[in-house]
Structure 1
Amino acid sequence: MNNVKKVIILNDYATVQGGAAQVAVLSALALSDKGIPVIYIYGTGDVDERLKKSNVICISLEQHDLLNNPSKFNSAVTGLWNISVAKKLRQLLTKHCTPGTIIHLHSWVKSLTPSALSVLSRGKYPTVVTLHDYFSACPNGAFYDYVSESICKKVPLSRKCLVKNCDSRSYLQKIWRSIRQYITKKSGMPANFKYFIKVSDFSERIISNFLHESSILFDVSNPIEVSSSKNYNKLVVDRISVNSDVIYIGRLDKEKGVRLLLEAFRDTSGKSLRIVGTGALEDELKSELHEAKFEGWQNREGILSALSKSKVLVFTSMWYETQGLTVLEAASVGVPCVVSDACAARESVEDGKTGLWFKSGDSNDLKQKVQYLMDNPLIADDMGKSAYKKFWRSPPTSSAHADKLLETYDRILDVIEEERI
């Protein structure tokens, strides 16, 4: 790993605003801990307190994101192409991208915009992109029809795609997203980017058809924050055997399969259900599942605490979820999962051994699988302990993630050097 002299992380945010930002922040901290100089360039917002206390250099491009821009017109225009981002980023990369530097791009759709992609593409900087979602090909980043609440298999930007209102807000928003996707494509994504990181085999199968034939994909699973003490986790596993709650963790939105929760638990008014998260469907859930325990958004510690009070995790996502970190978090404390069979999270669950798969979109199957585990607590406990043992055999810690990243960066720099020769 002698080739890697510096890492520049590029992301919309420097605080945890979602999965991509969480991985970007954790990787920056872990790489810095291993003595690698890290520069974290972000579009907008505050800086995570952990980054402030580290040796990571954080540089803001001082932009608004799409939702917090006081001018809707300006947001619509700069969301397609931000001249200021392009200028500032070009200056920063000219200054900081010295020999042995790798640029790692995580997300760009909230504040960096396609203009950042153009800078990276035209400048031919050594760049690797983590495919946290499908924005490199799909206008809404999910291959999901929010109107019909189903997987979309239309070719992105095809005539059938363009005439279909699949957006979570409106058809006008769909048109705007399609224009952005066209600009994204013209900015070189994904054709002019060669190196990508996949976070699951499942997501690779979905996105690989849209990448250039010369693209190289590296397998680097996302890190998660868990207790480093196996003894502590063992105590949690023992406590879970006496718990009786079913837990859902995630955004309360359509694509996450939240309506399945409503249908599966309506008969009991959610009496045994614990819900961690917020979103557009929160009020609807509260009105129907009035006995459920709503705990709002939680940080990692809050999530692990909620898991330790629960018997089973349900993962109901209806879109092509790229990984599903909460399934791994549950496994780290011995909680078995009932997971949708149409997303990458199923790769983390051995059906019948560490949890159960249910048929995606089928609330009756979800209900039956959950009820089976609740009616058979010894089986649920055995699955939870199996999940726990499997997780801790090779835990996806931040340190292990950083080691894998450095190996990947080194291989990329080797390829680049060979191509120069």
Structure 2
Amino acid sequence: MVHARYRRPGGEDVSVETETRALAAAGVTVQSWTLPPEAAAGPGAFLRAAWNRRAAAELVRRVRAERPDVVHVQNFFPGLSPAVHRAAARLGLPVVQTLRNWRLVCPAATRWRAGAPCDDCIARPFAWPSLGRACWRGDRAATSAAALALAVHRSIGTWRRVTRFVCPSRAVAAVLPETWPTAVVPNMVDPAPAPGPGGSGVVYAGRLTDEKGVGCLAEAWSRHRDLPPLEVYGEGPMASALDGVPGVTLHGRRPHAEVLDAMGRARAVVVPSLWPEPFGRAVVEAFACGTPVVATAAGALPELVDDGVTGLLVPGEDSHALARAVHAVTPAMRTAARTAFERRFAAPVVAPLLVEVYRSCLTP
């Protein structure tokens, strides 16, 4: 299992850790190589994002020492680079690549720019619209380097060496070229928390940024004073938009167990995203706690939330619809949410799907 950790830890890192544990519990021998975020820093970092010779050599060394059946790559950017895919393929091993973001179709990996969804670079061999823009990390040079890396590896056929692309949702699989072999395997929560008792409040857990719909959240609680208290867990540049809003409490970044406990004691969890969510880990965590979700119909969220059953879907940027949905959540949705988790997102259900992906890669 190969993974480059993010500079700002988030849902992807949690998903990789969870997946590794669940596979081990399912009887799979998992040998992990996790690159710390500081390994991607230093002179020449952007060039190494396109081709990291040392990372490729280290992968070869580990493969020869550990002799795995499959090389499963999670996040490779910017610390590892797609050189690791080519190195594994040259050794004759199947390569599985999990895509938990939009990296292979968008240099910023977000499909979001200047406060709005952006698909300017999708389906282009070279993401030329991104040149000169600061889509990734607010840095024009970094964005151009990311676009160049994607173009180089598409042109030299690196992605054709991937045996299977694992996507957490149909939304992610749908934007990939039709010739790329895909499998949809959702993210999981493990260990699963016990269902919570519920309550009268509402929880938001995630980055406090514009694409996450924090502005709509602030507007809803500012305009609708009859809404229940909102507990906010997370950090980001839009924290100031919520600071001082009546009924809103900012907790900042807290331990994961504390966030899950808050979800279990909530009436609902809100996911007001505006960008096309590749998955929506907060939704599945809420379901694990037995808490329904009020979410926008953005990206993969409609695949997760069964509207009117496990929660409610609302249009993006509609604070009035968001407020109405919070009031409309019913107690019956709690049971439905937990049932959905157990049937679709629990480790004993999801881990075998991934094991089957490995088996299919090893079958001639």
TM score, norm. by length of structure 2? 0.88
In 2: Cα distance, 1:79 partner to 1:154 partner: 19
Deviations 1:137-164 (A, max 9, x none): 221112222x132243443434444365
In 2: Cα distance, 1:119 partner to 1:367 partner: 51
| Residues 151/382 of structure 1: CA separation in 2 closer, same or farther (3 Å cut) | farther
Residues 1:27 and 2:19 are matched in the alignment? yes
Deviation at 1:189, TM superposition (A): 4.3
One-letter identity of the residue aligned with 1:322 = P
Counterpart pick for 2:140 among 145, 163, 171: 171
Paired position in structure 1 for 2:334: 384
Deviations 1:142-189 (A, max 9, x none): 2222x1322434434344443655445143332232223224434644
One-letter identity of the residue aligned with 1:363 = S
Contact in 2 for aligned 1:225/1:398 (Cα 8 Å): yes
Unaligned runs of 5+ in 1: 1-8, 46-63, 374-378
Counterpart pick for 1:266 among 222, 241, 248: 222
Contact in 2 for aligned 1:118/1:187 (Cα 8 Å): no
Contact in 1 for aligned 2:108/2:136 (Cα 8 Å): yes
Aligned length: 361
Residues 1:148 and 2:115 are matched in the alignment? yes
What does 1:21-420 align with in structure 2 at a 5 Å threshold? Answer: 21-44=13-36, 64-66=38-40, 69=41, 71=42, 73-97=43-67, 101-145=69-113, 147-155=114-122, 156=124, 157-162=126-131, 166-186=135-155, 188-205=157-174, 207-208=175-176, 210=177, 213=179, 215-227=180-192, 232-233=194-195, 236=196, 239-240=197-198, 243-267=199-223, 272-286=229-243, 288-289=244-245, 291-370=247-326, 372-373=327-328, 379-392=329-342, 394=343, 396-414=345-363, 418=364
One-letter identity of the residue aligned with 2:183 = F
One-letter identity of the residue aligned with 1:40 = S
Unaligned runs of 5+ in 2: none
One-letter identity of the residue aligned with 2:148 = I
| Residues 185/334 of structure 1: CA separation in 2 closer, same or farther (3 Å cut) | same
In 1: Cα distance, 2:54 partner to 2:102 partner: 25
Deviation at 1:111, TM superposition (A): 1.8
Deviations 1:64-86 (A, max 9, x none): 344xx3x4x34334334322212
In 1: Cα distance, 2:75 partner to 2:98 partner: 8
Q: Which moved more, 1:80-89 or 1:312-321?
A: 80-89
One-letter identity of the residue aligned with 2:185 = V
Contact in 2 for aligned 1:117/1:187 (Cα 8 Å): no
In 2: Cα distance, 1:170 partner to 1:143 partner: 16
In 1: Cα distance, 2:156 partner to 2:240 partner: 40
Contact in 2 for aligned 1:271/1:292 (Cα 8 Å): no
Paired position in structure 2 for 1:18: 10
| Residues 114/135 of structure 1: CA separation in 2 closer, same or farther (3 Å cut) | same
In 2: Cα distance, 1:348 partner to 1:332 partner: 13
In 2: Cα distance, 1:219 partner to 1:97 partner: 27
Deviation at 1:16, TM superposition (A): 9.9
Deviation at 1:195, TM superposition (A): 1.0
| Residues 399/389 of structure 1: CA separation in 2 closer, same or farther (3 Å cut) | closer
| Residues 120/187 of structure 1: CA separation in 2 closer, same or farther (3 Å cut) | farther
Contact in 1 for aligned 2:46/2:78 (Cα 8 Å): no
Contact in 1 for aligned 2:276/2:300 (Cα 8 Å): yes
| Residues 265/190 of structure 1: CA separation in 2 closer, same or farther (3 Å cut) | farther
In 2: Cα distance, 1:175 partner to 1:37 partner: 39
In 1: Cα distance, 2:134 partner to 2:344 partner: 41
Deviation at 1:390, TM superposition (A): 3.2
Contact in 1 for aligned 2:212/2:274 (Cα 8 Å): yes
Contact in 1 for aligned 2:295/2:312 (Cα 8 Å): yes
One-letter identity of the residue aligned with 1:29 = R
Contact in 2 for aligned 1:166/1:174 (Cα 8 Å): yes
The sequence identity of aligned pairs, in percent, is 22
Deviation at 1:339, TM superposition (A): 0.8
Deviation at 1:223, TM superposition (A): 1.4
In 2: Cα distance, 1:176 partner to 1:257 partner: 28
Paired position in structure 2 for 1:56: none
Deviation at 1:343, TM superposition (A): 1.9
Please give the root-mean-square deviation of Cα atoms over the aligned residues, in Å.
2.8
